[in-house]
Amino acid sequence: MSETKYTGDHEWVRVEGEAATVGITNYAQEQLGDVVFVDLPEAGATLEQGAEAATVESVKAASEVYAAVSGEVIEINEALTDEPGLVNSAPEGDGWFFKLKLGDPAELGELMDAAAYKDYCAGLD
């Protein structure tokens, strides 16, 4: 069974087998507003946990997205090229950013679970 984990920078990561899918949370897309462009990493790139991995551009501003965990990029979400608004409409579904081959499963332990993330966001408002 997969479990979704969350970072304090509002990325989510869902691990299925060796693959970790990364995106930004509903809270993050609400903060961003209308997403108009997503700059994704290249497949094959190796990312360190916390490194800049992607850039998401709303009408107003550009924001960096960080790698929630370390690993090699094995797939990017090509659908975002033509339809960046998927990040707004389905942030934790079809609006995912990229998939990593998980480098160090222990890193997942540093992230929040859904309940902890919910509390975390409540504390920010």
Partner 1 sequence: MTDPVATVTQERAEALPTPLLALHRELGGKLVDFAGYLLPVQYPAGIMAEHKLCRDSAALFDVSHMGQVELTGEDADIALERLVPGELRKLGVGRQRYGFFTNEAGGILDDLIVARLPDRLFIVVNAACKTADIAYLRANLPGISVTELTDRALIALQGPQAVQALTRHAPAAAGLSFLSIAEMDLAGVPALISRSGYSGEDGFEISLPADRAEAVTRELLAEPEVAPAGLGARDSLRLEAGLCLYGHDLTPETTPVEAGLTWAIGKRRRAEGGFPGAEMIQRQLAEGPPRRRVGLRPEGRAPVREGARLSDGEGQFAGVVTSGGFGPTVGGPVAMGYVTTALAAPGNKLFAEVRGKQLPVTVAGLPFVQQRYAK
Which residues here bind partner 1, judged by CB under 8 A?
9-11, 24, 28, 31-34, 36-37, 39, 55-66, 81, 84
* Integer Cα distance of 45 and 93 in angstroms: 23
Closest separation in Å from C-beta 84 to partner 1: 7
Q: What whole-number distance in Å separates Cα of residue 72 and Cα of residue 117?
A: 25
- 105 CB-side CA count, 13 A: 6
The residue count for the chain: 125
Is 59 or 114 the residue whose CB approaches partner 1 more closely?
59
Report the nearest approach of partner 1 to the CB of residue 54 (Å). 9
Q: Contact 109/13 with Cβ under 8 angstroms?
A: no
Q: Which of 17/42 has CB closer to partner 1?
A: 42
Residue closer to partner 1 (CB basis): 57 or 94: 57
